[in-house]
Amino acid sequence: MKTIVIAIGGNSLIKDAQHQSVSDQYDAVVETVRHITDLLERGYRIVITHGNGPQVGFILLRSEHSRGILHQVPLDSIVADTQGALGYQLQQALENEFHRRGLKNAVATIVTQTLVDRNDPAFQKPTKPIGEFYTREQAEERMRVEQWTMVEDAGRGWRRVVASPKPMRIIEADVVGHLVKAGYVLVAAGGGGIPVVADEQGLLSGVPAVIDKDLASAVLANQIGADMLVISTAVEKVCLNFGKPDQRALDLMTVAQAKQFAAEHQFAAGSMLPKVEACVHFIQHGGREAVITCPSQLSLALAGGSGTRVLP
């Protein structure tokens, strides 16, 4: 029985600006888990990871509007909050789908920490924008009082930026691996995991950072010895010359080809590039194959009839 790690995006749970409420997000979750349950019925062991970018933004906005009334929420705690909230939605939707199909499987969400290097260069040069836009005066106050790093964003205002260090290890990977082998469907490493660093004694503490969920998913997949990493995104296949008249969809990429296409800037930095890099990382660290596709094509992609496969 093969073990697969399926990474779904936080943006995929929000269809558009008119469907951002919790109930709207749950409706999107319900749609996604139907396709995941199809894979469970085909005999796969499944670990689900998910993004949380928009959801973190909403919590930051609430925190900003309650400034002076309630305490500010640290970023690592916000990631933990989203792991619980989205895990709850995924658990409930999966359990309901299992009930409808007469399946006896159980689901568990693991609050997951991701170890990063306190000396990662990303901490010296934060680049990941989060939260809302501010005026120059507001930004200067936040930088002085909160010690935030802020940058002016293309004339739209000032925005907080935080570090995005590389994930080294998923702290709870052994728990995830044990439970998935026991037959549970797991939700783990939400939002790339809660970023933590270790001191000289190995004691952990949270840091204000965000971790790429695709790369964290690859790290988790390697740690638990998963057979396949599956990245669910908005498109059916990876394309070369995306959005141009000569756009070409790829059925297959080797690791060498993926690296070459990335060097040629075929993949957008904030979009397809981290997904391709995650697939390469998974395979270079012992994984057998990876697949990139959209939710509706998951079952067909794992049967070899859709999606883009990445192989050694």
- pLDDT mean over 152-160: 82
List Cβ<8 Å contacts ≥24 apart for 284-288: 284/255, 285/218, 285/222, 286/222, 286/225, 287/218, 287/221, 287/222, 287/226, 287/227, 287/228, 287/229, 288/227, 288/228, 288/312
Could you tell me the residue ranges of all domains in the chain? Answer: 1-116+169-226, 126-162, 234-312
Write out pLDDT tens, residues 263-309.
999 998 878 999 999 999 999 999 999 999 999 899 999 998 999 99
Give the pLDDT of residue 210.
Answer: 93
Asked: is 1-116+169-226 a CATH 3.40.1160.10 domain? The reply is yes
Give the pLDDT of residue 297.
Answer: 92
Question: Given CA atoms 213, 29, 294, 39 in this order, what sign does their dihedral have?
Answer: positive
Buried b (16+ CB within 10 A) or exposed e, 62-87: ebeeeeeeeeeeebbebbbbbbebbb
pLDDT over 90 at 239, yes or no = yes
Closest CA to 76 of 192, 173, 161: 192
pLDDT band, residue 70 (cuts 50/70/90):
confident
**How many C-beta atoms surround the C-beta of residue 15 within 10 A?**
14
pTM, whole model, 2 decimals? 0.92
Could you give the residue ranges of the DSSP H alpha helices within the chain? Answer: 22-41, 53-65, 75-101, 136-145, 173-181, 213-223, 255-263, 272-284, 298-302
pLDDT band, residue 15 (cuts 50/70/90):
low
Share of the chain above pLDDT 90, in %: 70
Write out pLDDT tens, residues 95-154.
999 999 999 999 999 999 999 999 999 999 998 888 778 888 988 988 998 888 988 877
By the 8 A CB rule, do 106 and 128 touch?
Answer: no
pLDDT over 90 at 248, yes or no = yes
Q: Which residues are part of the catalytic machinery?
A: 10-11, 128, 213, 275
- pLDDT mean over 46-64: 88
By the 8 A CB rule, do 291 and 35 touch?
Answer: no
pLDDT band, residue 256 (cuts 50/70/90):
very high
Give the pLDDT of residue 16.
Answer: 64
pLDDT band, residue 10 (cuts 50/70/90):
low
Give the pLDDT of residue 11.
Answer: 58
Closest CA to 129 of 159, 155, 158: 159
